[in-house]
Structure 1
Amino acid sequence: MGVSATGSGSLASSGALTTAASSELLFAAGMTGAVFTAPGSGFTSRIVTSPDGDLVEDAVAASPGSYTATASLSGGIWQLQLAAFQGA
């Protein structure tokens, strides 16, 4: 399951994704014409590529429900995707 959004400005947002269970891995990846500067609230930044400043961030769902990935950037166009993965 996943969602994706595009836009411009200093805050990227993936759109809302609904998880079915707690402990699902929330995995987000973003591309930008600028530079991502920080992960969204509750997410941990794993990669910010150099020199182009793209982003990978993740979190673990605390409970079933709606989640949205966000990330701050220096301004400009962006795309942010969010996917949820359940353990076996």
Structure 2
Amino acid sequence: AISAGPIKTLAAAGISDFSFLLKWNKYHSPMKTNVTIGEVGNSGMYLLSDLSSGVTGEIHYVDAGYNIMGMPAVNFDENGKPHIAWNGE
């Protein structure tokens, strides 16, 4: 299975605060970037090819390394908006 990080798409544009999620992921992932549709597609091609013939029952993370990071505590204000102290953009 492929577990992709957040990707900027037309469908994602309908998710409230999605731009915040993209910034958060970029700032907190070890590679300091967001993944692209192409990178997820490339991973799929690898899994479909003979190169992955010895791979079974794995979750293939395509998320710039975010899956290895711990999630910091998030506080919410009175309006339910997240309040997080970080030095991101």
TM-score w.r.t. the length of structure 2 is 0.23
Q: Which has the higher contact order (CA 8 A, sep 6+)?
A: 1
Task: Considering fraction of residues, name the structure with more strand.
Answer: 1
TM-score w.r.t. the length of structure 1 is 0.23
